[in-house]
Amino acid sequence: MLAFYRRSLLVTFALWCCLAVSVDSASNSSAALVASNTCQQLVSTLGSSIVQSQSSGSEYTVGANGAWSVFNQEENFLPTCIVFVNSTEDVQTAMKTIFDNKSEYAVQAGGHSAMTGWNTVTDGVLISFMNMNATSYDEEKDTITMQPGILWGAAMTLMETFGVAPVGGRITNVGTGLMLGGGLSYLSPAFGYAADNYVSLDVVLVNGTMVTATVDNEYSDLFKALKGGGNRFGIVTRYEVQAAHVGTAQDKIYWGGIALYPNSSAEAVLTAIAHFSRDTNNTNAVLATDFISVWSNSSVPELTIQLEMNYNGSVEGFNESFAEFLSIPYTSASFGPLSYSDLVNEVSFPDGQGNLFGGSVLEGIASASNSSVDAYLETFQLFNNFSMTFASSSDVSSTLLSFTPVLESQIQYGYAKGGNAISPPMNGGFNEVLFGVTFSQGVTQVPDDIQQGREFFLSNAPSTPGLPLFINECDANQLVFASYGGYEFLQEVYSKYDPTGFNIQYTQGPVGL
């Protein structure tokens, strides 16, 4: 009887599996058919030079490989067609057609996402902003207007002639999507999250309607939701932001640079990082930290502890702001006068490789407090354990652990500018924590064992309750929105502007709305 039961169970399971495969195949076939019909309609309305397929367009391959992480490129994702939009009207037409047909879709601006599937699609329509990359400065309004396809390095180069810059990325090849996730900048201590500097946004909603949102018009709720809400609330086709006056490339208004520390200084450096986010009240002091393990020919990855310490002002101000770090033994340092563009060009992420991120958040600790920095040390130990576990793997190129301070001044600035969706508590600064894995050249799929190792890190890494995660540096499955102080507000705004839940059903992005 038991044997018969087992055979029956196996038969039932086999039939269920076949049915599941059949349902999935039917679903995929249906999505492909819908996407094909949608693309045909878009060709007839926008033309074949704007709407291109794999077999019909010279720009298709460029667009399909436009994502920074190779996990989001053509070998893994093949859009049915790519719409190379040239205007807001093109985006409206594309989005209305996608909405009417209920087609899968994705949007790619700068393409610098480590979340697989967030900026590309298979059996769907990819909207590419590759051709919309203009940037201009209005001296009278003191604002910068950017189209979504511009990268921060290009925007900075265009604007430095005027001595201004948008509050934007710390890496030159990051795009404007950074702002939709809030955005952490070297200017953040003084100017808040990048999104806190919005002045006006043109937004195409899921049904193709275009609205202009500001802090005080009828779309002020949408305006606030787009300060941290990611891609869930519409497609921004024009960003007008407040200009930050940072000088030209010849104006060396900063003092600082990069210091490298030995492994023996790791605990002291982590302690100083915990103190910096809580103690620092000077908005001129900017800190970025990187613990990088690079795979070599030995059985032990080589760890580099790298700190970018910069001060908008004098050497004396620099020495005072970074006194704890400077008291820790370091192996080398390159300090000197810097322009703002020098800062942004200090470090870079590699291109042409697969990347995955994951995040946590840790409260800052006052140096006068008896509070333990154990959470920082435990995070570092988990990072080392991951690196050592896969030390012999040829699939991994490097791993990264980074702590980015969010100072009290940054939080206050955001509230003063009308608030944002992130809404951190006003009880001191904290550190956003990034855990990144960069894969070797030629690796286009994440091996199962490495994925399990990442999941172990993310499920065990300490994270302070009540503090917001940074969506741009998190794993696709982390519940970032639920960590926001404005979570209920986001849910209400999403229901208002996308009442059928179209965005959640038909494109990938942050979960939890």
Mean per-residue pLDDT of the chain: 93
pLDDT, average across residues 46-70: 93
At 23, the pLDDT band (50, 70, 90 cuts) reads very low
Provide the CATH number for the domain around residue 101. 3.30.43.10
Instruction: Quote the pTM value.
Output: 0.93
Closest to 111 in 3D by CA, of 81, 71, 144: 71
What is the C-alpha separation between 383 and 67, in angstroms, rounded? Answer: 26
Residue 369 in this model has a pLDDT that exceeds 70? yes
Residue with tokens 């003092």: 255
Q: Quick one: 201 and 100 in the same domain?
A: no
pLDDT for 17: 43
The secondary structure element, H or E, covering residue 384 is helix 374-389
Residue with tokens 């490129």: 73
In a 13 Å sphere around the CA of 51, the CA atoms on its Cβ side amount to 24
Q: Quick one: 109 and 146 in the same domain?
A: no
pLDDT for 58: 85
Q: Does residue 513 lie in a domain region?
A: no
3-state SS class at 346: coil
Q: Quick one: 238 and 266 in the same domain?
A: no
pLDDT, tens only, 470-486: 999 999 999 999 999 99
DSSP state of 243: P
Residue 316: domain span: 254-483
Contact between 128 and 82 (Cβ < 8 Å): yes
pLDDT for 8: 39
Query: Which tokens hold the place of 156?
Result: 């900075």
Q: Quick one: 395 and 315 in the same domain?
A: yes
Per-position b or e across 418-452, b if 16+ CB within 10 A of its CB: ebbbbbbeeebbbbbbbbbbbbeeebeebeeebee
pLDDT for 342: 92
What is the C-alpha separation between 1 and 324, in angstroms, rounded? Answer: 73
- The percent of residues in the chain predicted with pLDDT above 90, rounded, is 88
11 vs 290 pLDDT, higher one: 290
Provide the CATH number for the domain around residue 154. 3.30.465.10
Domain total for the chain? 3
Q: Quick one: 336 and 452 in the same domain?
A: yes
3 vs 371 pLDDT, higher one: 371
